Chains A and B, each alone.
Chain A
Amino acid sequence: AQTVTQSQPEMSVQEAETVTLSCTYDTSESDYYLFWYKQPPSRQMILVIRQEAYKQQNATENRFSVNFQKAAKSFSLKISDSQLGDAAMYFCAYRHSISSGSARQLTFGSGTQLTVLP
């Protein structure tokens, strides 16, 4: 079974600085999807960014970008120009591809609590 590991329970960053959150995963599949979700104090899960494993190019969404290293099974999230509103719990998640024939549920890591310091 696949597992997702976030080894940093807590991180902090100064406002306007850059921070990188780490995520590693374990899978025997070659085709899959990776996600970063954000959970602010409201507890609503919000999609931040998505990466398809078959794409070599790293996904980017405004100030958010990923460093996807398929061979190393690593999927880190970089937040540039950090803002106070970025403070939240960040979850890394994995999903099989339809072509794998496996169930397409999301498997989540345990999360990284990000604090943004003014």
Chain B
Amino acid sequence: DGGITQSPKYLFRKEGQNVTLSCEQNLNHDAMYWYRQDPGQGLRLIYYSQIVNDFQKGDIAEGYSVSREKKESFPLTVTSAQKNPTAFYLCASSIVTDLETQYFGPGTRLLVL
């Protein structure tokens, strides 16, 4: 079945540690996105990529990094510079046309120990 997978479902980070969230899609979508969701709030864009080996910062990129080495994969690293990483992280993908609609993965819950 086609879809977007995110792993792990839950992730625990120790202070000073970098952690990486996985996002994989088999929809043959060119564009991929990372959003952060805090309790009671909407989603905010962290990074997005419209093509392999290229990505752009979103509204809240500080303390995060990404790579896009393969079309199917767009991992997000939460670095130690992100002082408040506890949140729900959602990955999305879409085709790159004017009618594009973003489809979302099941999300990863990141908690700080």
Contact = CB atoms under 8 A, between A and B. Distances in A.
A binds B: yes
Contacts of A52: 99
Q: How large is the interface on B (under 10, 10 to 19, 20 to 34, 35 or more residues)?
A: 20 to 34
Contacts of B59: 105
Interface string B92-113: 1000011111111111000000
A35 B104 CA distance: 13
Nearest to A31: B98
Contacts of A47: 101, 103
A103 B56 contact: yes
Contacts of A108: 42-44
B45 A106 contact: yes
Interface of A: 4, 9, 35, 37, 42-47, 50, 52, 91, 93, 97-99, 103-106, 108-111
14 contacts: A35-B101, A37-B104, A44-B107, A45-B90, A47-B101, A50-B101, A91-B42, A91-B43, A98-B98, A105-B59, A106-B33, A106-B102, A108-B43, A109-B42
Interface of B: 33, 35, 40-45, 48, 56, 58-59, 88, 90, 92, 97-107
